[in-house]
Amino acid sequence: MYRTSLALLLAFMLSSSIFAQTANPYDGNWKLKFDGPRTAALEGTVVVKGEGGTWNLDLTGQSRNACFKHEAPIAVESATAEELVFKVNRSKVLAGCEDPTMKFKKVDDKTLKLEARDGRIFTLTRQ
């Protein structure tokens, strides 16, 4: 009887700690905008759902690179009060495409920014 009660108590504690984890503070729909020295202003959407989501650019007639023309899944690597880091898994949609890691810094509750090495500035705005 004691072992059964102890096992049930332990199982309850483990399951409740799993459910007690906080949700990703960046869950939701985001409008993506970016511009750079060699690119025209581009827009798209990012959807964050827990540890995953999607990345989608609106490239109507703007890019010949097939890697950028498809919606791609994202894998959230970290979501803290200061930043959101995720990998855009383009290679899961089209073999041979690169999978960049995006590190957005929080500006305010509705805005995240990333400045790439090449000078492009990416902005996510919560929808």
User: pLDDT tens digits for 63-120?
Assistant: 678 888 899 999 999 999 999 999 999 999 999 999 999 999 999 999 999 999 888 8
Residue ranges of E strands in 37-100: 39-49, 52-58, 72-79, 83-88
3-state secondary structure of 65: coil
pLDDT for 18 equals 44
User: pLDDT tens digits for 26-48?
Assistant: 999 999 998 877 767 889 999 99
Q: What is the pTM of this model?
A: 0.79
Structural domain boundaries in the chain: 23-126
Asked if pLDDT for residue 20 goes beyond 60, the answer is: no
User: CATH number for the 23-126 domain, one of 1.20.1090.10, 2.40.128.120, 1.10.10.60, 3.40.718.10?
Assistant: 2.40.128.120
CA distance 64 to 61: 8
Contacts of 96 (CB under 8 A, 6+ apart): 67
pLDDT for 3 equals 55
pLDDT for 46 equals 98
